[in-house]
Amino acid sequence: MTSGPTPRDAPGARPRSGPLAGLLVADFSRILAGPYATMLLADLGAEVVKVEGPNGDDTRTWSPPVRDGVSTYYLGVNRNKRSVALDLKDADDAAAAQELARRADVLIENFRPGGLARFGLDYPSVSATNPRIVYASISGFGSGPQGAALPGYDLIVQAISGLMSLTGAPDSEPYRAGISVFDVMAGLHATIGVLAAVNLRHETGRGQHVEVNLMSSALSGLVNQSSAYVAGGTVPTRMGNSHPSLFPYEPLPCADGDLIITAGNNGQFRKLVTVLGVPELADDPRFARNEDRTANRELLRPLLVERLRTRSKDDWFHDIIAAGVPCGPINTVEGGVAFAEEVGLDPVILAGEGDAAVPSVRNPIRFSETPADYVLPPPGLDEHGDEIRQWLSEETP
């Protein structure tokens, strides 16, 4: 699949059996969007070589929290990779990076658009020596002349895209999401683009340039909210935990705290009010259809709350779920992991073996024949540098 030695020939590489086994990925990305994408590829069998500058990926120092002195942020998106530190301003290191790009099936980078051109690592330069390369670029606002100059940080995109205008109570200031949601989305979109281009290469024999930017990922990821404006001319606003088009679809107070209840259709609403002991509400013309319930939410909410406050949220949770209506408690992350364990999702795995193994969150994709594996813990800076540089210096057929 590659133009030189395959990943299995590289010193220190371990045999992989996943659906992407045999795919060599040159990872020139850092922080979150790119490393998340390359970790997903690595989990599925790709051999990922993480190229870092002399000071390493910035997230190595993003702490607290830490595990054994290493940022858990870095640990969360860098398993199953091997690290080589290369100073691209050094001629020998730049040549090694160019050789890695020449041998790779996939290259993923999130430098500022055009930033790798001076090192001979931009798409035109790499594809000239490796026409099979699938070259993925992740930026903040695209590679056009206006967007390329803008720094691409998730928080900035949350603000500019409109997400923050939708997050928080109606009378509060706008809020960011609790995670870098558009970095994650862009990483997922980059992964999809890479796999699509690799699939097409089987037919054409040629790679291509795949471009993803956080702003486009944001507008796509806003789904119904961006569609409300684009297709309906409506500018959405903050509604706290309420949904603009559904009710009930929010936290509702029980005797000892809130419970999320989502009756997404008329049948679920009927089941809900039956278990609450007020079945007549399903036939009330003010609440019979979803559009009625949404329009009259301020009338319906106190009627539901009056019943919910008579029992604990745990008691209601079990009864409402048993009735076939989606609902759930508002957990901490600890509670979320515990719940995933309770329902058999086995959310925590060990990346690596023995004392070097690091607890990590399981890859969310499950395959019946070629499951993800977790052979390598997140690498130390330049942990595999000597063997990778030696491999890159060897002549290829």
Domains and CATH numbers, the chain: 7-222+348-393 (3.40.50.10540), 249-342 (3.30.1540.10)
> Kind and range of the H or E element at 392?
helix 385-393
Q: Which residues contact 27 (CB under 8 A, 6 or more apart)?
A: 34, 35, 38, 48, 49, 50, 51, 81, 108
What ranges in 113-265 are assigned the alpha helix state H?
123-129, 154-161, 181-204, 214-221, 223-230
**C-alpha R_g of the chain:** 25
The string of DSSP codes covering 176-190 is --SS-HHHHHHHHHH
Furthest CA-CA distance within the chain = 79
Is-contact 27 86, C-beta < 8 A? no
Q: Which residues have a catalytic role annotated?
A: 183
- Which 3 state secondary structure label does DSSP give 107? strand
What is the residue-level pLDDT of the chain in tens, covering all 397 positions?
334 445 545 555 567 789 999 999 999 999 999 999 999 999 999 999 999 999 999 999 999 999 999 999 999 999 999 999 999 999 999 999 999 999 999 999 999 999 999 999 999 999 999 999 999 999 999 999 999 999 889 999 999 999 999 999 999 999 999 999 999 999 999 999 999 999 999 999 999 999 999 999 999 999 999 999 999 999 999 999 999 999 999 999 999 999 999 999 999 999 999 999 999 999 999 999 999 999 999 999 999 999 999 999 999 999 999 999 999 999 999 999 999 999 999 999 999 999 999 999 999 999 999 999 999 999 999 999 999 999 999 977 5
Q: How far apart are CA 200 and CA 184, in angstroms?
A: 25
The pTM for the full model equals 0.93
Six-digit token string for 385: 């540098």
Rounded alpha-carbon distances, angstroms, from residue 128 to 101, 133, 207, 391: 11, 10, 11, 22
Q: Checking DSSP bridges between strand 327-329 and strand 24-28, what pairing results, if any?
A: unpaired
Is-contact 20 45, C-beta < 8 A? yes
E-strand ranges in the chain read: 24-28, 47-52, 66-67, 70-71, 81-85, 106-109, 134-139, 209-213, 249-254, 257-262, 327-329, 348-351, 358-361
* Torsional sign, CA 35, 39, 45, 47: positive
Is-contact 22 375, C-beta < 8 A? no
Q: How far apart are CA 84 and CA 153, in angstroms?
A: 25
Q: How far apart are CA 275 and CA 116, in angstroms?
A: 61
Is-contact 43 79, C-beta < 8 A? yes
Half-sphere exposure of 306 (CA within 13 A, CB side): 8
Q: How far apart are CA 102 and CA 83, in angstroms?
A: 18
What ranges in 231-368 are assigned the alpha helix state H?
266-275, 290-295, 297-308, 313-322, 333-342
Which pLDDT does position 396 carry in this prediction?
A: 73
Which pLDDT does position 17 carry in this prediction?
A: 83
Closest CA to 256 of 308, 307, 318, 327: 308
Q: Which residues contact 148 (CB under 8 A, 6 or more apart)?
A: 112, 113, 114, 139, 141, 142
Six-digit token string for 382: 């330049």
Is-contact 388 80, C-beta < 8 A? no
Which pLDDT does position 11 carry in this prediction?
A: 52
Axis crossing angle, helix 313-322 with helix 266-275, rounded to the nearest 10? 130
Which pLDDT does position 15 carry in this prediction?
A: 72
Q: Which residues contact 157 (CB under 8 A, 6 or more apart)?
A: 140, 163, 182, 214, 215, 218
Q: How far apart are CA 389 and CA 142, in angstroms?
A: 33
